[in-house]
Amino acid sequence: MLDNYADVIVIRHPREGSAKLAAKLASHPVINGGDGANEHPTQALMDLYTIRKEKGKIAGLNIVLFGDLKHARAMHSLLYGLAMFGANITLISPKGMEPSREIIDEITRKFKARVSEKTELDFAGADVIYVTRVQEERFADKYEAKKVKEQFRLELPALENAKKDVIVLHPLPKIDEISAEVDRSRHARYFGQAANAVPVRMAVIDYCMEGGK
């Protein structure tokens, strides 16, 4: 029925694969606004746009993805994009919150992606640090959740080994996984990143209206 109400359908749904299913059934273009913990393609597009706008390129940049990389759907989509454009990818996450091996194996096989994995907060040589929150609701033990959240919190001193012009991104909204000092620093770019969502998503809608699907 919704197919008769609009020229473009944007779907956000807790079920993984929901957008793909909707696209098969609908006669109009369907935009995935996030399907469970699976993917969030338009977030990845605005992230790639932000990196390209800030750094002038993506290929060859040292990009660190930091936090809960298992449940953060934006990270899954971004991994594919970074691999396609030739970034050097470093993954830093708590034990048990690493991204799917299937994704890592696929981007390594398809795009010859350079991917390294760490458990300690080491941002040496980073051009971009992309932070996502540790999802407390994923822990059975709330004390353990608090401990991990404190360990995986980005503080300003942690950026000392990164490149001087390193930028920090975040899909927003954020809670306390990035300190207020980082918010006020020259490195923070997540508020501008959020603003970039407007032209990027306008472009996606325009593409759909012009016949893309």
d(C-alpha 163, C-alpha 64), whole Å: 12
Q: Which of 179, 176, 135, 138 has its CA nearest to residue 159?
A: 179
Distance CA 34, CA 179 (A): 27
Instruction: Tell me what percent of the residues of the chain surpass a pLDDT of 90.
Output: 71
> Is 90 exceeded by the pLDDT of residue 212?
no
- pTM value is 0.90
In whole numbers, what is the pLDDT of the chain averaged over residues?
91
Distance CA 76, CA 79 (A): 5
Contact call for residues 199 and 161 (beta carbons, < 8 A): no
41-194: what CATH class? alpha beta
User: Residue 15 in contact with residue 25, Cβ under 8 Å?
Assistant: no
Average pLDDT over residues 154-183: 95
Q: Does 156 have pLDDT greater than 90?
A: yes
CA atoms within 13 A on the CB side of 22: 23
Which single residue is written with the structure tokens 């994009």? 81
Q: Which of 83-92, 116-125, 180-189, 197-206 has the lowest mean pLDDT?
A: 116-125
